[in-house]
Amino acid sequence: MKIIGADSDVALGLDALLRLDPRLHAVATVAGPLPLRLAEPGFAGLAFIVVSQMVSKASAEAIWRRIVAATGVGRPTAEAYLALDEASLAGLGLSRAKAHTLRLVAEAVQEGQLDLQAIVREDGKDAITRLTDIRGIGPWTAEVYLMFCGGHPDVFPAGDVALRIAIGRAFGLEERPDIRSVGQMAEIWSPWRSVAARLFWAYYAATSGREAAPVGLSLRPIQHGKR
């Protein structure tokens, strides 16, 4: 499996996609350069994605700053999160559901039941199944984690609304395609579906004037270059 770890890997994937599906030439022309957006795998990366769900960019950044301050480390660990007392947790601004999800993730990591570094090297379906076994982690969260914290090349979050809008717009569909349809459409882009997702997020941003990639990824807790 070719891990996406640098801009050159995204470019390689895009070249392959354009050969696989010539329709994407027009999409790529509108989309422009595709950002890498990559964070280190681990508790902090997954926690940040959970924090960022269903809230504005400003809210996500504010909550994350509180978590960083409360744990006392720039990249919060499972152990540091579990060490927070109830008063500290209450002051983070997390919903009860998100706080519970982060606790379950942290406990699984601390107890050795979940290795967030190793899981990104597993087969996509197997990794998604293992991640979604944790209550509160849905397919979208698992897929985004594998893509942007693991550099997995062949994951496509078909449930992402912006991606579905972008695909419908790019291919002139009268209605927004449903999750099942988008998942089936994306099969032609394997083994570079993660780059295809980057392409359609960029296309959405270019055609709507709004950031399309998951909000949390605009604030990368950790950055790294080539692997």
Nearest in space to 13 (alpha carbons), one of 226, 207, 190: 190
Helices (H), 53-178: 57-71, 78-82, 86-90, 96-110, 124-132, 139-150, 161-170
CA distance 194 to 97: 28
> What local confidence, expressed as pLDDT, does residue 55 receive?
85
61: left (phi over 0), alpha (psi -120 to 50) or beta: alpha
Residue 156 buriedness (CB in 10 A; 0-12 / 13-18 / 19+)? buried
> What local confidence, expressed as pLDDT, does residue 87 receive?
93
pTM: 0.90
Consecutive 10-residue runs of the chain (227 residues): their mean pLDDT? 91 97 97 91 94 86 94 93 95 95 97 94 92 95 94 94 96 95 97 97 94 60 39
> What local confidence, expressed as pLDDT, does residue 44 receive?
95
> What local confidence, expressed as pLDDT, does residue 215 receive?
58
**Is the Cα dihedral 166, 170, 174, 179 positive or negative?**
negative
Nearest in space to 32 (alpha carbons), one of 214, 224, 204, 220: 204
- Kindly report the CATH class assigned to 43-137: mainly alpha
> What local confidence, expressed as pLDDT, does residue 6 receive?
94
**Is the Cα dihedral 45, 49, 51, 52 positive or negative?**
positive
